[in-house]
Structure 1
């Protein structure tokens, strides 16, 4: 009989010494470092070195921790630093991106690209320049030269007006009228009477006027009316001429002021140019020179917008929202790389459309309508990562339907158009702004499950969605590293550093060793360590908090504290597990632990509930009978409760039996096979060994030991093959034996020998195995399995199997012949 396997690997204190120092945020530790993850690191370097190739973005798989994006982003940044230290430059110099007013098309703001750190310098310079111009422009308007010219032009206009007014008065007096020119009340024409001395006198009232008019002859009245019409026309011509001359004077004055303003703007803009170049260089100025030329021309034509005006909201009034009168001067720095040391590496944890692409904000105006302009353009993480790397989760990206196509279009066209989400979806937008697109040159690093990679590759055949074509570099991270001396010592250092950084209770060597053992269990092998250190960190935090809550006065956490924490965590999640154990103990779910039975065996299954995986035994039964039409009926398959892998394993067992016995005896028998008290779906091939031995027992009529359970797969040739979930399966059967008081040294589990390295059993199970109260038998062949389960090697049972098969054949032939008669 095979010897009992070692239940778990124990980390001894000697393995924890001479550990190198490790930072909590160390990228190398989280994913194993270049020594353990060569394929991953090489793929990352491959993708980054080919920065100019738009198709060589990077797809990262195998990192499922919440800190995956941070880990990958940190490594990308480290690699860039490494390249820079070696004098290798594959990335362009980061730039700043600004939006300014478009004087030709205000709804299409212009993009200004400046060297790193010059965006805010440009904005600050423009704000200061605006204030300077506003301060000085009033002085330009009110200087002596302009005042003198204004006086001259106004004097000429007034002289002309006085001359023509006098002419009209003289003509009016000859015709019996007085014309009064008043700047406030206008022109008034009054009828008067001529005295005997030839002088004119006004009438006292309308009665006197009417008496005077009644004494005039018909010809005199006609002459008076014609005179009034003539004078009225003369006044109209004068007013029109005066208005025309006044407008001409205004235009003349404006031309003069514009000329003075042009000289002023030329001077101040030249000073600004000189000052800006001295501070920021020609490269920075070349990006803004065209904008400044158009702004200078605009300022000359609309200088009045810069003149002081009465304040909005002064004297206790409620301010009314108005458009910025100086919007043409404003600079919106959407991307500022002034603080970026190497290249921008942006990790986007919430890739909504707005966070990824950017958007257009708006300002609510009086009346309830919204307006926007270039100062309300907001850049997203794509623009911020331009010239560097954008790290993003495909899981997160898939949560926002509009974001994924937008990212794809940006990568494909190497251009980013910032607009609101409604416009991108084809709807009319209330914010019809079309900013100039930002040219893109960046590397996108997408983290996602390997399944997504396969799905996207399948979709790549559709030219409308060839997203994956732009991700030529695939970087796959293994979820584990080798449990060698270096990695164990590094892990030990990380545990101690994590404890210190988080303010947890310190841990002795036994606690550190026990945590490393738990990492091996998470990795599914005693020769590996899981890279999921977050899970280990949560155990440490809980153990420390439990110690404080219990009032334990010991200075350090020991292995006992870790074990109790693990037991408590399992207890909180294991309600269903306890229900199953109680059903077995009460006999509601029938599991036989003692004695022997023909055609009945204890198999083992694992159920995954997401937060916990539990193992439990299942009673597997087989029956055989003579049949002229041999075949095998599996109740689960017939009931459509089985999966495809289970069906494959079922066929494999049937063909394995044929391969072993069909040459020596006819297989004239029917086989029935069932998982008793199983009412839900079942899949996998780990019950194929149990199925095989149950059928052999039924045919040979040799009973199977019920104190043992078995798990394992088998090949068509009868080779024993490994399975998954071995720890949970062994522990599940152990707990059944414990609850039924059968830990007497007879119970145990048969497992494939390949799974012995996967054993990292619970402490109580390991203790029972080491004390001989429970057994775990690794088997290499089905012969060894038969010896444990049936007390004989399979070769010794073959004789009885063949003899019974022949008897079945005789019975089948007999009844077949009887039927024909």
Structure 2
């Protein structure tokens, strides 16, 4: 079996040739016309916006930083611009049920017109109503009614007075009414005079007073009836004058809005209410100050606000369908709220204090909401689902929705919904909702899946250049030179760790462009070059690699044991990745194996102490199965082996070290030393095939940095990696240069035999027709060692059985 060949420097990273660009700088490029690299998502968005039906709302899923929200907003705004503007919505006072305001839809822009018309009406009525009640005709009729009333009152009172005086009594007015008092000599009788009367005289006065009191009561009742009749006449007069004054402008408005029956009906009810409350407009002293005071009092009592409208949703300035992005989707911001005002120490509200939510403002268009933020707000997700299921949105107070208050509150009429809701969020959240929320599948039937990468080809590279040009203009950055664009393209491949793809995490690309612009300015350049982009990459890494440096320092000082030269049995350099918040780095980890006679197979020490994760444990079980499948076809394994990550004090997860663990076991069994100047990564299956793993670039660079840290490169050091990972190599420039100079090497392998041959310098060995391996091969040495262990184990068992029989 031939040893694998080392990779060439050209295989270690893709290189964008900036000579392919025809522009001198990105200032010569047009803006990016749309979304790039997201064909699946754009087709889904087109379908979701075009299809009509209940529940065809859209969930946009994808990785953070992929520009989902920005792309969706641009996509929706472009589509919404071609759609007609949504209607206005207003709330009107309900004259029949004041606690249940009426919702009315108006053609867009008509809400402002109606509001202004009603304000003009009130302004006109403030002038015309007082004038009408100061008119000479009105005053003459009013005075006539008052004069007739006084005349009748005087006549009735005169007749009553004559009757009373005829019997020597007098009527005295008191706050509580009239009192009959006997008269003596034309004066009211005194107490002394009353005491001097005989009992018979007193009884006579009492009966006479009772008789006269009947006449007084009868007369007073008649006077009250006359006064009531006069008041009714005044009311009829006031109503006639008020109706005559108000009806004309109201009828003008009714004719103007004759195509809107709800408005006509409201104006008719408003006419009757104005006539009933005309005193509000004429109850002042005739001065402007008096009128203003009367209006202020009426306004504070809510009497005037009922004649206005609540312009709930105003689309008067809209040029297309609304696109609303709600960044804080709490309950009130979604379904609206009812505000209160403090008046005389109490909280009051009315229909003018109803405020719209995002669902109202987006009605007739699109609503974009971050799904994770939505689920973090209490009751918000349930309110959204309820509105979508019911096809209408109802404004209610949060406490009311929970049934926490029982006091009388406003119950505004619900508003029908006709909109598309677009939720954006990570993929895991979409699949979680899909699995556990039955309503979700009925309400969000369209999945727009944003990917994290796009193919690396001439078309996508040109699109990246246009994206850079667009962002530079939008953020007022320096233009990028062709070399700068090429370096950004290469870094885009590094972000996805793939030579054949580019990243679509445009937030990360945008950050790189902004930082590169800063370093270009620091260097005094007018164009951003590849040097500035590289500086931005290095500076960002430096800002976040303190922990990486501390770990490297511990290795360099011998606190963490790692060997990068020499050979040792049962010991190998595995490679680990340490993910941090904004970056990840790799470092070597010493893996050791010990084998000896016994039973129990391979013991994973990490698992035994509960530091190993399930995937790592699975990998150890797979390599144990490989050992049995290759070396125990004739005889059972009399083997006990241990594996451990040395100086590992945290959890170990993943199977990317299973190839290294298997090679360490084989080395221990064969007593074949392993090269310590090689590190290894890769997983292995039960047949010994090497499989791809993640974090390949960070792992290689981590071992490269460690080798440099512990001395100059020897020219023999390198990394063994899976063949399947070659396509994922996007290594740093210094690593590529070292490989080109022959100072560092990368060996791709397909099988464990290829890897063990590289590590030991011995042939792995191929079995002959009888299944026997050459004795000097690694596999032959392993079989010989296992045979020896088996024979000794059998001998020990035989001795134990013999001793037990003798006993």
TM-score, normalised on structure 2? 0.90
The DSSP-based 3-state class of the residue aligned with 2:242 is helix
Q: 1:197 aligns to what?
A: none
Q: Provide the C-alpha distance between the structure 1 equivalents of 2:292 and 2:148, rounded to a whole number of angstroms.
A: 40
- 1:48 is matched with 49
Distance 1:726 1:137, change over 3 A: same
Unmatched runs of 5 consecutive residues or more in structure 1: 85-91, 195-200
Match of 1:293 among 268, 272, 275: 268
CA offsets, 1:211-232, max 9 Å, x none?
Answer: 9889988877766666555555
Answer with 749-758 or 149-158: which moved more: 149-158
Match of 2:772 in 1: none
For 2:764 and 2:312, locate their aligned partners in 1 and report how far apart those are by CA, in whole Å: 77
Q: Is the Cα–Cα contact under 8 Å of residues 27 and 75 in structure 1 kept in the other structure?
A: no
Give the deviation of 1:691 after TM superposition. 1.3
For the 8 Å contact 2:66–2:504, the answer to whether it is kept is: no
Q: Distance in 2 between matches of 1:216 and 1:573?
A: 118
Q: 1:96 aligns with which of 79, 88, 91?
A: 88
Q: Is the aligned partner of 1:494 residue 2:497? A: no
The equivalent of 2:430 in structure 1 is 453
Q: For residue 714 of structure 2, give the secondary structure of its aligned residue in structure 1.
A: coil
- 1:747 matched to 2:700? The reply is no
SS at match of 1:266: helix
Which residue does the alignment assign to 1:198? none
Name 2:559's counterpart in structure 1: 588
- Report 1:791-802 matches (<5 A): 791-795=761-765, 796-802=777-783
Residues of 2 paired with 1:813 and 1:211: CA distance?
147
Shift, 1:720, TM fit? 1.8
Distance 1:769 1:150 in 2: 112
Deviations 1:359-414 (A, max 9, x none): 11011010x21011111111110111122221111111121122111111111111
Among residues 610, 613, 618, which one is paired with 2:584 in the alignment? Answer: 613
The count of corresponding residues between Structure 1 and Structure 2 is: 779
Tell me which residue corresponds to 1:107: 99
- Equivalent residue number for residue 478 of structure 1: 451
Counterparts of residues 416-435 of structure 1 (less than 5 Å): 416-428=393-405, 432-435=409-412
Please name the residue that 1:504 is paired with: 477
* 1:142 has 2:134 as partner: yes
Tell me the residue number matched to 2:22: 17
C-alpha contact (below 8 Å) 1:168/1:231 kept by paired residues: no
**Are 1:774 and 2:744 matched, yes or no?**
yes
1:164 match:
156
Q: Say whether residues 1:408 and 2:379 are aligned partners.
A: no
CA RMSD of aligned residues (A): 3.0
Matched, 1:640 2:617: no
CA 1:66–1:228: 2 relative to 1, 3 Å: farther
Identify if the C-alpha distance between structure 1 residues 489 and 226 changes in structure 2 by more than 3 Å, giving closer, same or farther.
same
Measured in 1, the distance between the counterparts of 2:7 and 2:194 equals: 144
SS at match of 1:259: helix
CA–CA distance in structure 1, aligned partners of residues 556 and 779 of structure 2: 36
Q: Which residue of 1 aligns with 2:532?
A: 561
Q: 1:50-65 to 2 correspondence within 5 Å?
A: 50-51=51-52, 53-65=53-65
For residues 138-183 of structure 1, give each alpha carbon's deviation from its aligned partner in whole angstroms, at most 9, with x where no partner exists: 233333443333233223222222222332333344333555889x
In structure 1, the residue matched to 2:329 is: 351
Query: What secondary structure does 2:551 align onto?
Result: helix
Q: Distance in 1 between matches of 2:566 and 2:408?
A: 81
Q: Is the 1:601–1:620 contact (alpha carbons within 8 Å) kept by the matching residues of 2?
A: yes
Identify the range of structure 1 (576-585 vs 795-804) with the bigger mean alpha-carbon deviation.
Answer: 795-804
**Higher mean displacement: 778-787 or 414-423:** 778-787
**Aligned: 1:730 with 2:700:** yes
Alignment correspondent of 1:87: none
**Residues 450-505 of structure 1: CA deviation (Å, up to 9, x unaligned):** 21222222223xxxx52332111111111111121122122123224433443334
Q: What is the match of residue 675 of structure 2?
A: 705
**Match for residue 522 of structure 1?**
495
* Equivalent residues of 2:67, 2:505 under 8 A apart: no
Aligned to 2:513: 540
What are the equivalent positions in structure 2 for 1:337-416 lying under 5 Å apart? 337-366=315-344, 368-416=345-393
In the TM superposition, what whole-angstrom CA distance separates every residue of 1:598-625 from its partner, at most 9, and x where no partner exists? 1111110111122221111011111222
Unmatched runs of 5 consecutive residues or more in structure 2:
766-776, 803-807
Given the alignment, which residue of 727, 730, 733 partners 1:757? Answer: 727
Residues 732-762 of structure 1: CA distance to partner in whole angstroms, max 9, x if unpaired? 1111101101412111111112222222222
SS in structure 2 at match of 1:364: strand
1:592–1:244 distance in 2 versus 1, CA, 3 Å: same
CA–CA distance in 1 between the matches of 2:574 and 2:369? 44
Moved more, 330-339 or 233-242: 233-242
Aligned mates of 1:768, 1:612 — CA distance in 2: 23
Residue 67 (structure 2) pairs with residue 71 (structure 1):
no
CA shift, 1:336, in A, is 1.8
Higher mean alpha-carbon deviation, 173-182 vs 485-494, is at 173-182
Instruction: Tell me the equivalent position of 2:439.
Output: 466
Partner residue in 2 for 1:651 = 621
> Does residue 2 in structure 1 map to residue 2 in structure 2?
no
Q: Which residue of 2 aligns with 1:155?
A: 147
Is residue 333 of structure 1 aligned with residue 314 of structure 2?
Answer: no
- For 1:377 and 1:515, locate their aligned partners in 2 and report how far apart those are by CA, in whole Å: 51
Contact 2:477-2:517 at 8 Å conserved across structures? yes
Distance 1:532 1:459 in 2: 29
Say which SS state the counterpart of residue 794 (structure 1) adopts.
coil
- What does residue 805 of structure 2 align with? none
Displacement of 1:690: 0.7
| Pair 1:250-2:256 in alignment | no
TM-superposed deviation, 1:725? 0.5
TM-score normalized by structure 1? 0.88
Could you give the per-residue CA deviations for residues 682-736 of structure 1, whole angstroms, max 9, x where no partner exists? 1111111111211121122221111010111122222221111111111111111
Whether 2:178 is the aligned partner of 1:175: answer no
Q: 2:242 aligns with which of 261, 264, 288?
A: 261
Report the alpha carbon displacement of residue 547 of structure 1 after superposing the two structures with TM: 5.1
Distance 1:313 1:71 in 2: 57
Q: After superposition, what is the alpha-carbon deviation per residue over 1:15-52, rounded to whole angstroms, capped at 9, x for unaligned? A: 4335897777x5734xx2xxx3222122222222223x
SS of the aligned residue for 1:398 comes to helix
